[in-house]
Chain A
């Protein structure tokens, strides 16, 4: 019986909602951080190619997402 309660408690600790919420929040945080860093690099005269290389994505991808500023 105690084992069952233990298990239930541990399952509660591993509530997927908390884990999923953390992932979603982390994604938003990541997007914001990326925007800040890309903007800063552009202000310092970096090319889209250079930024893309550091981010490990294609030049087109980074330009499409952050271009027009």
Chain B
């Protein structure tokens, strides 16, 4: 599968491992793939983000929203508000767990296998994003997997990355529109 990844898609995979490591996490999750995607410039994925109102210089709010979602254990704001009504402070719980078990411990993702080396391992959810990107590329008859397919895959599954992107106008539908309806005419 990896031999079909473009240079940009490989950079995203590498960047995801790096951003996980930087944050002190042990498992690379979909959120790390998104963080790496947000760092891309002049790629198909970056073009699509820019077309939907997220040029390179405007992506910081997305990073912050992602960080906030992590501190809410991936629950939505409405969920955490409902829990606050019961006297449960989700942010406090997450910060205690992270103190003891490392940043991102509450992400719900697990390492694919019992790897315990120093480098973060790809989690099941992140792997499933890579697999979905392959399926999406095939469905569009693209012969390669680019970072735009990774972005499409992230918006195709529930979870904080898709929610945060949707809050900024980036959904599977809007991405497909900017990537394919205009591109096909040009490629024609």
Set of chain B residues within 8 Å of A40, measured between Cβ atoms: 100-101
| Chain A interface, DSSP helix/strand/loop, else mixed | helix
Known A32-B73, A35-B108, A36-B106; contact A25-B80, beta-carbon cutoff 8 A: yes
Q: What is the distance, in angstroms, from B128's C-beta to the closest C-beta of chain A?
A: 16
Contact (Cβ within 8 A) B110 A29: no
Those 10 A-B pairs whose CB atoms lie nearest each other, nearest first: A25-B79, A22-B82, A21-B82, A32-B108, A32-B106, A25-B83, A36-B105, A22-B86, A18-B82, A25-B75
* A residues whose Cβ falls under 8 Å from a Cβ of B: 18-19, 21-22, 24-26, 28-29, 31-33, 35-36, 39-40, 69
Contacts of A28 in B (CB 8 A): 73-75, 79
Q: Are the CB atoms of A39 and B110 closer together than 8 Å?
A: yes
Q: Is the CB of B82 within 8 A of A69?
A: no
Known: A32-B73, A36-B106. A25 touches B114 (CB 8 A): no
Chain B residues lying within 8 Å of A22, measured Cβ to Cβ, are 79, 82-83, 85-86
Other A-B pairs, 17, CB within 8 Å; known A21-B82, A28-B75, A31-B108: A18-B82, A22-B79, A22-B82, A22-B86, A25-B75, A26-B88, A28-B74, A29-B75, A29-B90, A32-B108, A33-B97, A36-B97, A36-B105, A40-B100, A40-B101, A69-B110, A69-B114
Is A21 within 8 A of B79, CB to CB?
Answer: yes
